[in-house]
Amino acid sequence: MMRTPGGDREMQLWRRTQGGDIPMVLGQVGDDSQGDTPNPNPVAEPGVKGFLKTRPFYMAHRFGGTEYPEMTKVGLQASIDAGFRCYEFSTYRTKDGVYIGSHDWTTKRTTGVKHEIWNTDWATIKTLKQETGPFMRLEEVVEMMPEGTVLALDHKTTSAGINTNPDDLASEEALFKKLEELFDDPTERVIWKLFSGSDSAERAKARGYTVMCMVYENELDAADLSRWDILGLEWNATQAGWDRLKAAGKPTIAHIITSASQARVALDKGADGLMSSVPSTVHP
């Protein structure tokens, strides 16, 4: 509010960035100790299209995987409570066909007990504990997601490179079918996430999915940025790198953000969105 002789008047403050002017709310752009970050515009519509129209848009990396045990219910709930409308989920398929949340191909790092996920049944994996709870199944994630929110899905066995392994390709195909069971229209609720060397983008796009590539600055010379719909780059990449990304004319997202100061740097360089792993500090 602004005090005037005729009474208090509402004011809208704006923050100028290379990505465009961003509306500000007093108390929402502070230092890291306050845990405050820029506030996005309201979501224009549900699903992927609405999510990408917000500026900036926020994606919860591994369900807040720096602040919480990654890809667990407690982290997902914290991300939902913080106002995120997109949740990044890495997945592997168990021996008996269950898609679980895991960044690694074994359970060793998060549980202390090593099992190769694709060689282990769900009955065994579900007994393991990750600090605040068990591994999540894809079905559980979808059940927790508020209506109209989005899943950024990383099918780990095919998201990194060119893949000719029949088992990995079969897992990807089965995942597409699983998404059709879980969503009325998965292309409206799922972003297919991968890396620049993967050939999975073409298979996902053929099914109508929006595909997001996490590019690194040292890959820009070789990368064909026209292959993907959303482009990600390190928040601390050079301005020249960000300028090259923006020139492609696609929505851009900065990764991996763990503080409000990093968020401000990324937005000043031109990022349209932020991939945050600390919901309490960097959030809508």
Summarize pLDDT for 187-197 with one digit per residue, the tens.
999 999 999 99
* CB 275 within 8 Å of CB 61: yes
* CB 266 within 8 Å of CB 274: yes
d(CA 137, CA 225): 32
pLDDT at residue 255, rounded to an integer: 96
pLDDT at residue 70, rounded to an integer: 93
Is 283 domain-assigned? no
CATH assignment of the domain containing 266: 3.20.20.190
Number of domains present in the structure of the chain: 1
pTM of the complete model = 0.85
d(CA 198, CA 16): 36
Is 5 domain-assigned? no
Predicted confidence (pLDDT) at residue 258 exceeds the cutoff of 70:
yes
Q: Give the closest residue to 89 by CA, choosing from 159, 173, 35, 169.
A: 159
Report the pLDDT averaged over residues 212-222: 96
d(CA 91, CA 174): 13
Please give the share of the chain, as a percent, with pLDDT higher than 90.
81
d(CA 102, CA 156): 9
Report the pLDDT averaged over residues 233-251: 98
Is 35 domain-assigned? no
Is 79 domain-assigned? yes
d(CA 162, CA 203): 12
Is 165 domain-assigned? yes
pLDDT at residue 133, rounded to an integer: 85
Least confident of 8-17, 164-173, 217-226: 8-17
Residues facing 260 on adjacent strands = none
Phi-psi region of 208 (alpha: psi -120 to 50; beta: other; left: phi over 0): left
pLDDT at residue 44, rounded to an integer: 55
pLDDT digits (tens, 9 = 90+) for 171-180: 999 999 999 9
Is 210 domain-assigned? yes
Report the pLDDT averaged over residues 139-163: 96
Q: Give the closest residue to 220 by CA, choosing from 248, 258, 194.
A: 248
d(CA 228, CA 67): 29
* CB 266 within 8 Å of CB 234: no
Residue that wins the pLDDT comparison between 282 and 24: 282
Predicted confidence (pLDDT) at residue 13 exceeds the cutoff of 80:
no
Range of the domain at 132: 47-276
Q: Give the closest residue to 228 by CA, choosing from 141, 152, 150.
A: 152
Predicted confidence (pLDDT) at residue 23 exceeds the cutoff of 70:
no
Q: Give the closest residue to 63 by CA, choosing from 125, 136, 128.
A: 136
Is 258 domain-assigned? yes
d(CA 74, CA 115): 23
